[in-house]
Amino acid sequence: MPDILHRISIDAPPKRVHDLIAGTDGIARWWSGRPLTGEHTVGSSFGVHFGDAERPAAVMQVLTDTPDHVVWRVTDGPGTWIDTRIIFTLRPSGHGGTTLLFTHTGWQEASEFMSGCSTNWGAYLTSLKTGAESDTFGAYPAGEISRWD
């Protein structure tokens, strides 16, 4: 099965990066640009909304949340996302920074949609990076590069 992989160097401590990926307020700041529904605790689920949509674009169940590893399982959203896993692995790097290894795994096949998702993940992870470093985020819609209309 193909995976989306990204490696990002972030000039912020791992705790700061973890706080932004392991809490609904933080995730909203770098990804969706609006409040999330649900909660980010192991076993719970949260929904990500884009624009003015009433229904979440995706719902993730939190499988793991440790200081260096966060794993979500997609339970609702685009059909090709269902049962995929979104994994954030954090490693300390020189001068108090963080290396983020990102994986969106479990895709059934490589496709144009997967390519667009990879592009957008890169943009949103850049939003996470700049936000962790400077508190300036580029969440949706600014972070969306590959559009589906």
Q: How confident is the model at residue 148 (pLDDT cuts 50, 70, 90)?
A: low
Torsion of CA 56, 83, 60, 51, to 10 degrees: -30
In the prediction, which pLDDT does 146 show?
85
Other C-beta atoms closer than 10 Å to the C-beta of 14 total 20
Note the pLDDT tens digit of each residue in 92-122.
Answer: 998 899 999 999 999 999 999 999 999 999 9
Residues 6+ apart with CB under 8 A from 66: none
Note the pLDDT tens digit of each residue in 36-82.
Answer: 999 999 999 999 999 888 999 999 999 999 999 999 999 999 999 99
In the prediction, which pLDDT does 95 show?
87
Query: In terms of Cα–Cα distance, which of 31, 68, 73, 62 is closest to 48?
Result: 31
Dist. CA 36–CA 62, nearest whole Å = 14
Quickly name the fold that domain 4-134 has. Answer: Alpha-D-Glucose-1,6-Bisphosphate; Chain A, domain 4 (3.30.530)
For the whole model, what pTM was predicted?
A: 0.96
In the prediction, which pLDDT does 117 show?
95
Q: How confident is the model at residue 1 (pLDDT cuts 50, 70, 90)?
A: confident
The β-bridge partners of 100 are: 8, 90
Domain ranges of the chain: 4-134
Is the pLDDT at 149 greater than 90, yes or no? no
In the prediction, which pLDDT does 89 show?
98
Is the pLDDT at 143 greater than 90, yes or no? no
Dist. CA 96–CA 59, nearest whole Å = 33
